Amino acid sequence: MSKRYFGTDGIRGEVGVFPITPDFMLKLGWASGRVFARSSSSEGRCLVVIGKDTRVSGYMFESALEAGLVAAGVDVKLLGPMPTPAIAYMTRKQNADAGIVISASHNPFYDNGIKFFGADGSKLPDEIEHAIEVELELELATVQSRDIGKVLRLDDASGRYTEFCKSTVPEGFSLRGLRIALDCAHGATYHIAPSVLSELGADVITMGVEPDGFNINEGVGSTDLSALGELVRQQGVDLGIAYDGDGDRVLMVDQNGDLIDGDELVYIIAMHRVATGSSDAGVVGTQMSNLGLELALQDAGLQFARAQVGDRYVKQMMEVNGWHLGGESSGHIICSDVTTTGDGIVASLQVLMALQAAEGDVTALRAGITMCPQTMINVTVNGKVNLEDYPELQTAVELLEGRLGGQGRVLLRPSGTEPKVRVMVEGQDSEQVEALCSELAQEVERILT
């Protein structure tokens, strides 16, 4: 069944444009509360925790969701500004029936969205999202006054999550002697990530830690590494780390300010696990993962499987295969033996353990992987599109694959979070890859618009 509101990662869009409106969020809180209450395994009242990133619209949507939930008879705990993975963690630790995150992740401040976690701290399965959409079609009816939910604000949530992050590295692990430039994107990690790294002993230089409600992801964070790269070069630090606005992604730059993308970070973690004897048989990536990652893992004796794009699909394939490591090029990295979802801070600590084992030599960590030239262009479209409805596009893809001579990949994929179609071409020759990607993007734009 197709879903009307839910995309790859929750519900997302421009603030003030349906469905990202206060009245819809009120109804969404009520509808989801009814679904969670029915599926609750607790003997008491249903409990939902709510966190948000630093967007100014988060206040408005927090209030609307809270009202809808209590109208459905659900108790609420408000966590305030917290990274998305922190909500997953606190959902489990508070024995809540669900967690809600108000965030549009890496999008600009004028977008916002809602993401859900189940009681186990994992993204909701499709059937629960369908059930919520069914409830959204019903007329809102408040429970009797004696059954209305109660609301509590949890003031120490950030401290609890900080301690959890530090607990994911071995006792006695230290970052002393390591200088790190840290970019928090003026987002949800601004008050947590600097504490985690500095309390583990690192010398931390920060940027993107002054959110004002409007500057989230603006020229900072994992979607724009230029400022971080410049800071690394100016300060002569060992490494730069960048999170996105809600803290579930991480990318890095080396001591020269050059990008270390999500595929390379997954490789570094995988090789550290091989070296320490804690590796599984394989790693999960996505359709967008670079061919170089697949070849490098195979050279190391590891299997590689590709899931649909989206961290919940990566997680599902990890569970099917019995593997504990997976990730996306964008920096969503899941270490399921440590936590339940993609977590930028936790993933960066996994990389830092590998870096300390390599005595700070980033170049050595990347030596075994050669990234294939890959170009991606986002084509803006009007709303959701089903690419299968356009046979011309399939023909265009097949023609391009023929021109690559079997030495590359072509992928078209509608974004699950934005009105865009992602056009990706990968091959052996960078100039050819760029030219073919540009050519295909123009064809996609012509056919779809």
Domain count within the chain: 4
Contact indicator for 261, 234 with CB cutoff of 8 Å: no
Residues 6+ apart with CB under 8 A from 326: 266, 283, 284, 285, 307, 314, 315, 317, 318, 333, 334, 336
User: What is the pLDDT, as a whole number, of residue 19?
Assistant: 97
304: which DSSP letter? E
Sheet arrangement for strand 282-286: 303-307, 282-286, 325-327, 333-335
How far is Cα 341 from Cα 315, in angstroms, rounded to an integer? 8
How far is Cα 425 from Cα 409, in angstroms, rounded to an integer? 6
At which of 125, 155, 185 does a domain end?
155
| pLDDT band, very low/low/confident/very high, at 239 (cuts 50, 70, 90) | very high
Question: For residue 347, which of 273, 238, 288 has the smallest C-alpha distance?
Answer: 273
Q: Would you tell me how many other CB atoms lie within 10 Å of the CB of residue 46?
A: 24
Quote the percentage of the chain above a pLDDT of 70: 100
If you average pLDDT over residues 333-337, what whole number do you get?
A: 97
Per annotation, catalytic residue among 105, 222, 329, 415: 105
If you average pLDDT over residues 250-259, what whole number do you get?
A: 96
How far is Cα 24 from Cα 19, in angstroms, rounded to an integer? 6
Which H/E stretch holds residue 264?
helix 262-275
Q: Is 39 a catalytic residue?
A: no
Whether 20 and 149 map to the same domain: the answer is yes
Over the stretch 62-118, which tens digit does the pLDDT of each residue have? Answer: 999 999 999 999 999 999 999 999 999 999 999 999 999 999 999 999 999 999 999
Pair type for strands 151-153 and 75-81: parallel
User: What is the pLDDT, as a whole number, of residue 30?
Assistant: 98
**CATH code (residue 277):** 3.40.120.10
CA-derived radius of gyration, the chain: 22
How far is Cα 15 from Cα 63, in angstroms, rounded to an integer? 15
Whether 269 and 255 map to the same domain: the answer is no
Query: Does the residue 1 lie in any domain?
Result: no
If you average pLDDT over residues 421-428, what whole number do you get?
A: 93
Query: Does the residue 163 lie in any domain?
Result: no
Whether 283 and 302 map to the same domain: the answer is yes
Question: For residue 409, which of 401, 417, 421, 418 has the smallest C-alpha distance?
Answer: 401
Question: For residue 348, which of 427, 260, 283 has the smallest C-alpha distance?
Answer: 260
At which of 206, 233, 259 does a domain end?
259
Query: Does the residue 293 lie in any domain?
Result: yes
Query: Does the residue 429 lie in any domain?
Result: yes
Whether 359 and 271 map to the same domain: the answer is yes
| pLDDT band, very low/low/confident/very high, at 1 (cuts 50, 70, 90) | low
Whether 278 and 250 map to the same domain: the answer is no
How far is Cα 88 from Cα 92, in angstroms, rounded to an integer? 7
Whether 213 and 348 map to the same domain: the answer is no
Query: Does the residue 23 lie in any domain?
Result: yes
User: What is the pLDDT, as a whole number, of residue 5?
Assistant: 93
Whether 248 and 271 map to the same domain: the answer is no
Whether 70 and 138 map to the same domain: the answer is yes
Query: Does the residue 161 lie in any domain?
Result: no
pLDDT exceeds 80 at position 43: no
Phi-psi region of 332 (alpha: psi -120 to 50; beta: other; left: phi over 0): beta
Query: Does the residue 3 lie in any domain?
Result: no
Over the stretch 156-210, which tens digit does the pLDDT of each residue have? Answer: 999 999 999 999 999 999 999 999 999 999 999 999 999 999 999 999 999 999 9
Query: Does the residue 5 lie in any domain?
Result: no
CB burial string 216-232: b at 16+ within 10 A, e below: bbbebbbbbbebbbebb
Whether 101 and 125 map to the same domain: the answer is yes
**CATH code (residue 432):** 3.30.310.50
| pLDDT band, very low/low/confident/very high, at 444 (cuts 50, 70, 90) | very high
Whether 341 and 404 map to the same domain: the answer is no
Range of the domain at 410: 374-448
Whether 246 and 194 map to the same domain: the answer is yes
At which of 366, 384, 403 does a domain end?
366
The C-alpha angle with vertex 244 and arms to 20 and 110, in degrees rounded to 5, equals 30
Whether 151 and 21 map to the same domain: the answer is yes
Residues 6+ apart with CB under 8 A from 383: 419
